[in-house]
Amino acid sequence: MKFKIKGTEFTLSFTFLALFLILACVGEVKICLFSFITSLLHETVHIAFILILGGNVKAVTLTAFGANIVRGEKSLTSLKEALISLSAPVFNLILGGLFYKTLPLFSLVNSGIGLFNLLPFYDFDGGRGLSFLLESIIETDKINRILDVTAVLVTFLFTFISVYFCFKFKMNLTLVLLSVYMIFKLFVRLKPNVKNSYKC
C-alpha cells in the first residue's frame, strides 16, 4: 500500500500488514492497536526532527521490523543526527510517564518500545545515537568495536531476561522473538548508510 504526503512517499509493506493481522488474531486487539499507534508516533517524531533540524525525507517504508526512512543528500552534524536518533524513544518514554495512571496499557507499550529502541545495538536508535555522539571524539574503527561489544552484551542480557520472563511468568513469545531477531542481526550485521537512510 503506497500513498504520498507533500511529495514524500509512504509505503506499508506486506510484512507490516501481515504482522499486524497475526498479532490481532493471536493477541489482544487493544495491545495491537496501541502498538500500531505508538509505532506511528515514534516514526512521526523521527521525521519531525529530521525536518526541524534541516534534513529532508524522500520516502518512508513501514515493515515488520521497523521503518526505513530514506533521506535526501543533505548531511547534518553528528549532534543533530544523535538528536534525531534519540528523539523518538525519549518521546515514547515521556508518553509512558504521562499516561501511567490514565491509560496504563498505552503507557506500558510506549515505555517498552522506547526502552527497546534505546538499547545500544547497531542500527537501533540507541546504537545510532551512541555512534553519532562518539563520532567527533573517537575514530570510526573504535566506534565499530564499541558497538560490537555493546551489541553482544545487550543481546545476551536481553535474551536471558526474555527467556526468564517467558517461562517464569508465562508471558507471550514476543520478547523471545525480538531476541532471535537481535541474535540474527549480530551475525548478519546489516549497517545502513547513515547519511541516506534511517532505520528505526
What pLDDT is attached to residue 177?
77
Rounded CA separation 83/45 (Å) = 11
Question: In angstroms, rounded to a whole number, what is the distance separating the alpha carbons of residues 80 and 53?
Answer: 7
Calpha distance 152→34 (Å, rounded)? 30
Query: Of the given ranges (18-27, 60-69, 130-139), which has the lowest mean pLDDT?
Result: 18-27
Across the range 33-38, mean pLDDT stands at 82
Banded pLDDT at 19 (limits 50, 70, 90): low
- Per-residue pLDDT at 195 exceeds 60: no
Any residues with CB less than 8 A from the CB of 88 and at least 6 apart, and which? 42, 43, 45, 46, 49, 117, 125, 200
Look at residue 196 and tell me whether its pLDDT is greater than 70: no
Please tell me the distance from the alpha carbon of residue 70 to that of residue 193, in angstroms, as a whole number: 10
* pTM of the model as a whole: 0.80
Q: Count the Cβ atoms, other than its own, within 10 Å of residue 41.
A: 16
Mean pLDDT of 42-61: 88
